Each structure stands twice: as C-alpha cells, then as structure tokens.
Amino acid sequence: MVLDAWNTHVQRAEKLFNNLNDVEMLKEVAPGRNRGVYLFGHLIAVHDGIPALLGVGKQNYPELNAVFINEADKSSLPVPSIGDLRTSWKKVHSDLSEGFNKLSSDEWFSAHTAVSEVDFVKEPHRNKLNIIINRTNHLSYHLGQLALIK
C-alpha cells in the first residue's frame, strides 16, 4: 500500500511536469515563491538520496544537493538546464523502481542507513518503509504547490 501510494504520486508528478513546458517551468507557484524548475530539481535531489538510505544504491547527482536542497530558489548558483533535469528525473525514478525490487518484505522493516543500531532498537519505526511514507507526503506537499502553476 505504501509503495502503491508512492508510485501513484510519482506518476502524478511526472504527468504534471510533462504538461509544463520549459517557459512554464520558470513560473513561480505563487508571487515571490519557488519556481517550478526549483521544485523539480528539489524533488529529483531528494528522491536521488533514497537508494542510499535504503542501502540499494548511491546518489546519481550529488551535485544537485547544493542548489536544490542546501540553497533556496534563486540563489547565485547555476541551475542545470530543464532538459537535463528531465533526463535526471527519469534516471532517478527508474533506479528507484529497480532498488525497490531488491528489497524483501522483511528488509522494508529493517533500519534505514541513517539510523544507528542503538537508536533503531528504541525506535523501530525508523525503517526503510517509513522513508517511503515520509517521502510520499513530501512529494504530495510540493505537488499541491506545483498544481498552482497551470
């Protein structure tokens, strides 16, 4: 159910980004707020970090963290082209699907890689499946904003 919800929201996001042309991608979701392209890069960077947390792969584009996670939109850092981001989106989500298939049901309930063994004994909900629950809600949050561009 958790993975279904993830897949549904990734598909919704993909459809939304496919429906925004490169000019619309530069629009802000509301006056003075994040642009579509920033939220696109932000979601790519955050999702690209998931395989490492699940222990099934590593980040493809660590260089995106600086501009799309550590900095707010419209920083002085150069932003990749929207075409390159569209390619990265596809690669990140195809790697995620592959990564998910590597995990057994039991492994989904094992600790994610950013929690210590000691902490996991006390907080067993800090498992791999919980990463997906949280990342799906994070995606929904930004989808609500991106829907305002059109």
Q: For binding to a copy of itself (CB under 8 A), which residues are involved?
A: 1-2, 4-5, 9, 29-31, 33, 125, 127, 129-130, 133-134, 136-138, 140-145, 147-148
**Cα separation, 87 vs 107, whole angstroms:** 30
In terms of Cα–Cα distance, which of 101, 93, 116 is closest to 43? 93
114-129: b or e for each residue (b if 16 or more CB lie within 10 Å)?
A: ebeeeeeeeeeeebbb
Q: What's the min distance (Å) between Cβ of 38 and a copy of itself?
A: 14
| 92 vs 131 by CB, closer to a copy of itself | 131
Q: What's the min distance (Å) between Cβ of 134 and a copy of itself?
A: 7
Which parts of 56-126 fold into alpha helices (H)? 64-65, 82-101, 105-108, 117-122
| 88 vs 136 by CB, closer to a copy of itself | 136
> Helix (H, G, I), strand (E, B), or coil: what is residue 139?
helix
Q: What's the min distance (Å) between Cβ of 34 and a copy of itself?
A: 9
Q: What's the min distance (Å) between Cβ of 83 and a copy of itself?
A: 26
Residues β-bridged to residue 97: none
| 87 vs 113 by CB, closer to a copy of itself | 113
| 54 vs 61 by CB, closer to a copy of itself | 54
